[in-house]
């Protein structure tokens, strides 16, 4: 009998690329003031063709406006407006906009079925190297986000970035930190294991993560994290089908959001779901689409979001495309 492997049919919307951090490996950011903010009209233009393409999730992925900037409030307002409009057009939003204030998270919960923030690694040693010009990458700041998300009952995605100067001991420490927060609140729905893959736009090239180690990291994560937390791997960063299958055998069960472009890793296009389904079908796996909120968290959602999610769950249940062939 085949085992389900899930993915989210997604489209990424970028409110702005501007970011006050300068992580050395970033292929995404622009200097503050150089990236115009996305308008609602531009959003509508982007989303217009997507319903016919089966897109469910609108990933709102933004660069970070400084917490003390006089533009911070307007930036948060724009993110809220983009999410609200995406909802009104029949999609379900998931926002990852860097560390947010408690009040900002509470407000965005009203228009997001889930939210996310990569923990990356909790070792402070990286503040001396790849994160030395990235104030929001302080581990305690990001751990606080996970705590607040739990207190607010926000279904949450976090993850590790691999190959940025950390050690295998750091993997374990970061995974154990995630497990402890989840034990307190039960809100972490998935953990991403993302290998650093050098791109053409980053400040310092660095070395790629040794992908041969990825099944080992998956196995370590599966041994530390509760079974209820799904492990996600990005198929566009794993070139060899055999390696992808080894990661599934080690315990990964999700392939994340798949859409036209990975804006964080623009040099690595997403494979089409039909290609992934064919690779998986050669073994014991079966590719299935999912929503960006897992069913056990539906009860945490505000009423309008429960209605939107309920429609999509019924649609997926009726559709023969719930299994990709």
Checking if the pLDDT of 8 tops 90, the result is yes
Report helix angle 241-250 to 214-224, nearest 10: 20
Domain ranges of the chain: 3-320
pLDDT band at 323 (very low <50, low <70, confident <90, very high): low
H or E element: which one contains 139? helix 139-151
Closest-CA residue to 228 (of 194, 257, 191): 191
Question: What pLDDT does 322 receive?
Answer: 60
Query: What class is the 3-320 domain?
Result: alpha beta
* pLDDT tens-digit map of 55-64: 999 999 999 9
Closest-CA residue to 148 (of 193, 90, 105): 105
CA dist., res. 269 & res. 261, Å (int):
6
Q: What residues are paired with 258 via a beta bridge?
A: 9
Checking if the pLDDT of 253 tops 90, the result is yes
Report, as an integer, the average pLDDT of 120-147.
97
Question: What pLDDT does 292 receive?
Answer: 98
Report, as an integer, the average pLDDT of 225-231.
98
Residues 6+ apart with CB under 8 A from 144: 99
For residue 48, CA distances in Å to 45, 148, 260, 290 come to: 5, 34, 15, 21
Share of the chain above pLDDT 90, in %: 93
Checking if the pLDDT of 320 tops 70, the result is no
Closest-CA residue to 192 (of 234, 238, 241, 129): 234
* pLDDT tens-digit map of 167-214: 999 999 999 999 999 999 999 999 999 999 999 888 777 789 999 999
Three-state secondary structure call for residue 91 = coil
Checking if the pLDDT of 249 tops 90, the result is yes
User: What is the rounded average pLDDT for all residues in the chain?
Assistant: 96
Share of the chain above pLDDT 70, in %: 98
Q: Phi and psi at residue 180, in whole multiples of 5°?
A: -65, -40
Q: What is the dihedral of CA 134, 140, 142, 144, to 10 degrees?
A: -150
What is the reported pTM? Answer: 0.96
Measured distance between the N- and C-terminal CA atoms of the chain, rounded to whole angstroms: 16
Report, as an integer, the average pLDDT of 57-82.
98
Report, as an integer, the average pLDDT of 260-286.
94
Report, as an integer, the average pLDDT of 104-110.
98
Question: CA 21: distance to chain centroid?
Answer: 19
DSSP 1-38: --EEEEEEEEEEE-S--B-S---TT-SS-B-TTSSPPP
Checking if the pLDDT of 325 tops 80, the result is no
Report, as an integer, the average pLDDT of 204-233.
95
Question: What pLDDT does 290 receive?
Answer: 98
Checking if the pLDDT of 134 tops 90, the result is yes
CA-based torsion, 67, 76, 155, 119: positive or negative: negative
């Amino acid at each position: 009998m085949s085992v389900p492997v899930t993915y989210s049919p997604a489209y990424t919307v970028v409110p702005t690329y501007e970011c006050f951090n300068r992580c050395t490996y970033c292929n995404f950011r622009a200097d503050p003031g150089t990236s115009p903010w996305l308008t609602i009209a531009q959003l509508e233009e982007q989303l217009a063709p997507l319903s016919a393409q089966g897109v469910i999730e609108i990933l709102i992925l933004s660069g970070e406006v400084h917490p003390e900037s006089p533009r911070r409030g307007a930036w948060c307002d724009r993110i809220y407006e983009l999410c609200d409009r995406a909802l009104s057009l029949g999609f379900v939003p998931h926002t990852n906009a860097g560390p947010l204030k408690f009040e900002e998270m509470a407000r965005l919960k009203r228009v997001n079925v889930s939210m996310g923030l990569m923990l990356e690694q909790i070792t402070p040693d990286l503040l001396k190297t790849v994160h030395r010009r990235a104030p929001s990458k302080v581990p305690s700041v990001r751990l606080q986000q996970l705590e607040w998300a739990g207190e607010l009952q926000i279904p949450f995605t976090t993850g590790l970035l691999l190959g940025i100067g950390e050690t295998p001991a750091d993997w374990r420490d970061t995974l154990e930190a995630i497990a402890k927060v989840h034990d307190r609140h039960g809100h972490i729905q998935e953990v991403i294991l993302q290998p650093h893959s050098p791109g053409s736009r980053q400040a310092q090239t660095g070395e790629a993560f040794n992908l041969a180690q990825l099944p080992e990291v998956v196995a370590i994560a599966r041994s530390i994290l509760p079974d209820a937390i799904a492990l996600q791997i990005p198929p566009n960063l794993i070139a060899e089908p055999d390696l992808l299958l080894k990661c599934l055998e080690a315990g990964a069960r999700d392939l994340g959001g798949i859409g036209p472009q990975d804006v964080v890793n623009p040099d690595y296009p997403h494979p089409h779901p039909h290609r992934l389904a064919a690779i998986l079908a050669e073994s014991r796996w079966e590719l299935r689409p999912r929503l960006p909120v897992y069913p056990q968290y539906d009860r945490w959602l505000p009423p309008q979001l429960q209605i939107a999610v309920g429609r999509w769950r019924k649609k997926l249940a009726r559709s023969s495309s719930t299994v990709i062939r």
